[in-house]
Structure 1
Amino acid sequence: MAISFFTAYLTAEDDELRWLHVSAGYTLAILVGFRLLWGIIGSRYARFTNFVRGPRAVRRYFHSIVVGHPEHHVGHNPAGALAIVALLGMAILVAASGWATYRQDDQGWIEEAHELAANLMLAILGVHVLGVLTGSWFHHENLIGAMFTGRKPGDPSQSIGRSMWPVAVALLALLMGFWWSQWLSGS
């Protein structure tokens, strides 16, 4: 998702790369759709019911950091959950407003909304990265590595029983098919 967003963001002003901007935007939309589905049917720690909590949990988590005894979460912590929900919401706004801009003849306010949503998403991404870095420091664990590998220290009873490689391969095949169709259509 990050690669798709940054590709679209960096190619937004270049008319010659509009096809890349649009393709990266559609890729972001596909990945967000997958993440929403995965948040319902995915592995234990990927499900929204496992990590999305209310404001009280977020305050309690921040308080635990301030007092020097940060709560440990094998999955997402409440602050990370807040960032994920915000990023998914912003990605939906960016993709929807981008699609509307791409499909409309009069692009005035829709294009401005698209640009504003993308800039807000960039700001939330910056806060998220800062949170991951500080969380790694407070928890003495590599959260960035865990984001890539899916592995995080914890009790073996808290682990996920089986790998989900077939799902990853299917998603990759879907994305490769989409990009192949984009390449063939010359857009």
Structure 2
Amino acid sequence: MTSADAVPVRSQKVWDWTVRTFHWGLVFLIACMWSTAEGHGIWETLDGFMVEQGWIAYGWGEMGWHRRIGMLVLFLWFYRVYWGLFGASTAKFSNFVKGPGKVIAYAKSLTKGNYKPSTGHSPLGALSVVALILVVGTQVGTGLFTIDVNGLESGPLSKFLEFDTGRLFSEFHEMSFRALYILIALHVLAVLAYQFVLKANLVRPMLTGSRKVEEGAPEKTVRAPLWNVALGVAVAIGLTWLVWTI
């Protein structure tokens, strides 16, 4: 295609700033959760620094950090569910979750080279998003009830369970983390396939909030009113605090 035949493009907003913050915040926190579970020395160093500064009286230890970071993940999860129900247009579950017919039709269009950037999640991307939200919810949810072998390092809701039941939740917690590994790997592979096979950069829009679309593509309004964001944050904080203190 010559430059004269090139299709005119324009920039269009596809992701509001809270969706982008959720995405990259979750990436960071999951890496931290993995690191605390693996017992990397950085957390002991951070403990020492905070004690020296007088911010805490005693170090939290890896599992102390693990629990606190897990509550941050829970906060993000609560917010994303709220935003999926009441948030910006491209973040709403009702706008991007499609039925099997549309998912199959979209997949077939990719094999025929008919890919066109969509505003928001594609039907296949929607499956990935829903799966990640469900697995992250399972991961943090089971973590709330876990009891370790010695019964010392346990989740905040483990006090409501018998020891054997808490140990069963610990096994589910580990299994869900393995499932999360698999989903993350598939997500990264999909991003790479879009980049190198379909020539579509999915990372830049999640950083900038905008992507290039053809002139004439339907206009989409992507808004995150501060009152709605504040309400979502308040709901997420309230539910997280309730779980932590109940």
Q: Which of the two has higher C-alpha Rg? A: 2
Greater share of strand residues, 1 or 2? Answer: 2
Query: Relative contact order (alpha carbons < 8 A, sep ≥ 6): 1 or 2 greater?
Result: 2
- Deviation of 1:71 after TM superposition, in Å, equals 4.3
Using a 3 Å threshold, how does the CA distance of structure 1 residues 124 and 31 change in structure 2: closer, same or farther? same
Looking at structure 2, the residues matched to 126 and 165 of structure 1 have their Cα atoms a distance apart, in angstroms, of 33
Name which of structure 1's ranges 139-148 and 89-98 shifts more when overlaid on structure 2.
139-148
Instruction: Look up the equivalent residue of 2:169 and give its one-letter code.
Output: I
TM-superposed CA distance for 1:148, in Å, is 2.1
Matching residue within 112, 116, 129 for 2:175: 116
Choose which of 72, 80, 93 in structure 2 pairs with 1:35: 80
Match of 1:9 among 29, 34, 44: 34
In the other structure, the counterpart of 1:81 is 126
Which amino acid is the alignment partner of residue 158 of structure 1? Answer: E
The 5 Å alignment of 1:146-165 reads 146-154=205-213, 155=215, 157-160=218-221, 162=223, 164=224
- 1:117-136 correspondence to structure 2 within 5 Å: 117-136=176-195
Q: Secondary structure at the match of 2:134?
A: helix
User: Aligned residues: percent identity?
Assistant: 28
Distance 1:168 1:131, change over 3 A: farther
Q: Is the 8 A contact 1:39 1:48 kept in 2?
A: yes
TM-score normalised per structure 2: 0.63
RMSD (Å), alpha carbons: 2.7
Letter in 2 for 1:42: G
1:59 is matched with 104
The AA in structure 2 aligned to 1:160 is T
SS in 2 for 1:100: coil
Aligned residue pairs, count: 176
Q: Mean Cα displacement is larger for which, 134-143 or 64-73?
A: 134-143
Deviation at 1:68, TM superposition (A): 1.4
Q: How does the TM-score come out when normalised to structure 1? A: 0.81
